[in-house]
């Protein structure tokens, strides 16, 4: 996947540039002119602050921006070093997202996501089930092994004829599910006691319970920016405030920015991180970052809520080790691990699980108070599947198919979308994150596409900052049929009309 690691040459943004870009450009020019030679150490964040009189965040953003331009590279725990930008990829790589200053959060940013999400979802609901879904980060049913699962289901009904009418009375996760998940977790380097595993209604309930356990209304929770809208929703509905932290498409959440926030925001109680295939950027945190993040949360007493729903979609098995693998064991743990089989195995079961470290007892209590036990049925189907060679074969097949679908989708974007569209091909997963040319609106595209029977996920769903209006998430969950190809063509056509409208061209007709 050259596109994900290849940089693009620096392009000056129209109009006045943010400070960090000006700073980055200064250094990029120094490299271009030879004042800075490749391999030379660049100033540290603090040195940049002192030298140029900018804030820590601006300095950090400048370095990250240089990194995304290909003018700088990070060497873990040493610093940033100058480098010469490499060749241009087939499609320009996604830029580092613009980020806001984490030290001066605007309270207005903290509300409204739910209303926005509800409006988008209600429109989708009304459009009905026959829409071409290029919006949801969910593999198509054909990518799962339904036949094997159904055979297992029939066998389970025969073996345990009471399974659908038996109601467990104590707040327990089924021991067979606990053992199976503990065993499964060992495969990706996570060692948990079965008793520390609790079943949940999907990953969503796990993250929600984690937030319930660690924070009170008015508290602050740090999140990646942009991030999965479900996380922003969960934060908003319980009266918490989301603090969006810059996130790189290559290495995930900015540890420096998070540390600054931890030092300066007394009500910061925790952070929600998607370490594997961050949604929507697709970044996979390097192990060294994972380790530093866990240490940082321990040092500052922050709950580290690990949303690991996309782990099985990471292509390289070497990079699938969860944050929780670096945590202290059992009830000393600072990491609340949340996972689900909904994306990788059986979306129809809604079977999630979690292991909450020192919040485990509280999470169990909260779970019981809210939704009682999870079905024995879905727990046993999951337990008996996940530990089998057939499951591993299924994952291998699914990863290969999704890789093909991602590449086909990227090619379709290249064919049909306006010049200036940028994307990174992520190292796995079910979706692409696109940056459209400035001025285009993915919210408008959402409405126009839905009217043509196509659903997308507009950038505005992924942040409270309003900075992603010209970003777009596209699902690669569907096999690339002619209907899908036609969908991309229509999206491209709608975007072209927006471009025309911007430049006063014929597209004004559809404004």
Q: Kindly state the DSSP code that residue 73 receives in the 8-state scheme.
A: E
- Specify whether the CB–CB gap between 501 and 511 falls below 8 A: yes
What residues contact residue 471 under an 8 Å CB cut-off, 6+ apart? 97, 226, 280, 433, 434, 435, 436, 442, 458, 459, 462
Calpha distance 235→179 (Å, rounded): 31
Tell me how crowded residue 467 is: count the other CB atoms within 10 A of its CB.
18
Closest CA to 82 of 29, 5, 46: 29
Facing residues of 304 across strands? 271, 335
Residue 252 vs 280, nearer CB to its own copies: 280
- # of chain residues touching its own copies (CB under 8 A): 67
Among residues 227, 132, 142, the alpha carbon closest in space to that of 488 is found at: 132
**Does 239 contact its own copies by CB under 8 A?**
yes
**From 16, 165, 419, 509, residue interacting with its own copies (rule: CB under 8 A):** 165
Residue 133 in tokens:
């879904």
Tokens of 214: 């660690």
Q: Minimum Å distance from CB 210 to its own copies?
A: 12
Nearer CB in complex with its own copies: 34/107: 107
Going along 292-401, which residue ranges are E strands?
303-307, 335-340, 351-355
Which of 70, 92, 135, 249 is in the footprint of its own copies by CB under 8 A? 135
Residue with Cβ nearer its own copies (143 or 190):
143
- Tokens in use for 415? 């064919």
172 binds its own copies (CB under 8 A): yes
The β-bridge relationship of strands 335-340 and 303-307 is: parallel
Contact pick of 40, 157, 186, 510 for its own copies (by CB under 8 A) = 157
Minimum CB separation from its own copies for residue 53, in Å? Answer: 42
Point out which span in 232-240, 262-270, 292-300, 482-490 binds its own copies (CB under 8 A). Answer: 232-240
What's the closest the beta carbon of residue 238 comes to its own copies, in angstroms?
A: 8
Under the binding rule (CB under 8 A), the answer on residue 237 touching its own copies is: yes
Residue 223 bridge partners (DSSP): 244, 272
- Judge whether 336 and 306 are in contact, CB under 8 Å: yes
Q: Does 227 bind its own copies (CB under 8 A)?
A: no
- Gap between the Cα atoms of 245 and 229, Å rounded: 15
Does 170 bind its own copies (CB under 8 A)? Our answer is yes
Residue 351's beta-bridge partner residues? 201
167 binds its own copies (CB under 8 A): yes
Q: What φ, ψ does residue 288 adopt, rounded to 5°?
A: -65, -40
DSSP state, residue 344: T
By CB under 8 A, tell whether 313 contacts its own copies.
no
What residues numbered 188-217 form the site for its own copies, per CB under 8 A? 201-202, 204-205, 208, 212, 216-217
Give the per-residue contact string, 452-491, with its own copies (x = CB under 8 A; - = no).
Answer: ----------------------------------------
How many residues in total does the chain contain? 511
- The reply to whether 81 sits near its own copies by the rule CB under 8 A is no
Q: Is 395 in the site for its own copies (CB under 8 A)?
A: no
Contact 475, 457 (CB under 8 A): yes
Is residue 316 a contact point for its own copies (CB under 8 A)? no
Decide: helix, strand or coil at residue 384.
Answer: helix
Using the rule CB under 8 A, which residue among 12, 78, 147, 509 binds its own copies? 147
Q: Which of residues 11-50 bind its own copies (CB under 8 A)?
A: none
Beta-bridged to residue 224, according to DSSP, are: 245
Check binding of 164 to its own copies (CB under 8 A).
yes
Site for its own copies in 338-377 (CB under 8 A): 342, 346-350, 361, 364-366, 368-377
Which residues of the chain form contacts with its own copies (CB under 8 A)? 114, 117-118, 121, 124-125, 133, 135-136, 138, 141, 144-147, 149-150, 153-154, 157, 161-167, 169-172, 201-202, 204-205, 208, 212, 216-217, 230, 233-234, 236-237, 239, 342, 346-350, 361, 364-366, 368-378, 381
């Amino acid at each position: 996947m050259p596109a994900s690691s290849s940089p693009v040459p620096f392009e000056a943004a129209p109009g006045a540039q943010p400070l960090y870009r000006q700073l980055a450009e200064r250094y990029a020019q120094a490299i271009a002119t030879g004042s800075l030679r490749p391999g030379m150490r660049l100033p540290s964040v603090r040195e940049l602050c002192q030298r140029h009189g900018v804030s820590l965040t601006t300095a950090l953003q400048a370095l990250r921006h240089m990194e995304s331009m290909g003018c700088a590279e990070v060497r873990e725990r040493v610093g940033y070093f100058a480098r010469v930008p490499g060749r241009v990829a087939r499609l320009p790589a996604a830029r580092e997202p613009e980020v806001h200053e984490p030290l001066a959060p605007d309270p207005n940013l903290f509300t409204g996501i739910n209303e926005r999400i509800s409006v988008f979802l209600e429109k989708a609901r009304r459009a009905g089930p026959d829409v071409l879904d290029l919006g949801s980060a969910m593999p198509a049913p054909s990518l799962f092994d339904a036949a094997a699962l159904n055979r297992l289901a029939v066998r389970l009904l025969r073996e345990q004829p009471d399974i659908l009418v038996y109601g467990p009375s104590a707040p327990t996760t089924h021991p067979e599910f606990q053992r199976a998940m503990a065993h499964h977790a060992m495969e990706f380097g996570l060692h948990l006691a079965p008793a520390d595993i609790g079943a949940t209604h999907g990953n969503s309930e796990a993250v929600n319970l984690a937030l319930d356990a660690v924070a009170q209304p008015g508290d602050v929770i740090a999140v990646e920016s942009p991030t999965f809208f479900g996380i922003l929703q969960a934060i908003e509905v319980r009266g918490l405030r989301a603090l969006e932290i810059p996130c790189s498409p290559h290495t995930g959440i900015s540890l420096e920015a998070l540390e600054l926030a931890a030092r300066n925001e007394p009500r910061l109680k925790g952070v929600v991180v998607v370490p594997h295939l961050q949604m929507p950027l697709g970044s996979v945190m390097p192990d060294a970052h994972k380790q530093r993040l866990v240490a940082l949360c321990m040092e500052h007493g922050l709950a580290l809520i690990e949303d690991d729903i996309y782990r099985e979609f990471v292509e390289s098995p070497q990079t699938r080790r969860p944050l929780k693998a670096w945590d202290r064991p059992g009830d000393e743990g600072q990491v609340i691990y949340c996972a689900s089989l909904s994306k990788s195995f059986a979306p129809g079961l809604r079977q999630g699980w979690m292991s909450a470290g020192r919040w485990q007892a509280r999470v169990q209590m909260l779970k019981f108070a809210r939704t009682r036990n999870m079905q024995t049925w879905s727990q046993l189907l999951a337990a008996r599947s996940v530990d089998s060679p057939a499951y591993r074969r299924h994952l291998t097949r699914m990863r290969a198919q999704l890789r093909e679908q991602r590449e086909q989708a990227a090619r379709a974007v290249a064919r049909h979308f306006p010049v200036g569209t940028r994307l990174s091909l992520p190292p796995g997963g079910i979706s692409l994150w696109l940056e459209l040319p400035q001025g285009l609106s993915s919210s408008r595209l959402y409405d126009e596409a839905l009217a043509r029977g196509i659903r997308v996920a507009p950038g505005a769903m992924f942040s409270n900052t309003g900075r992603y209006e010209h970003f777009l998430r596209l699902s690669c969950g569907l096999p690339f049929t002619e209907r899908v190809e036609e969908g991309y063509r229509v999206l491209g056509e709608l975007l072209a009309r927006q471009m025309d409208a911007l430049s006063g061209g014929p597209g004004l007709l559809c404004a």
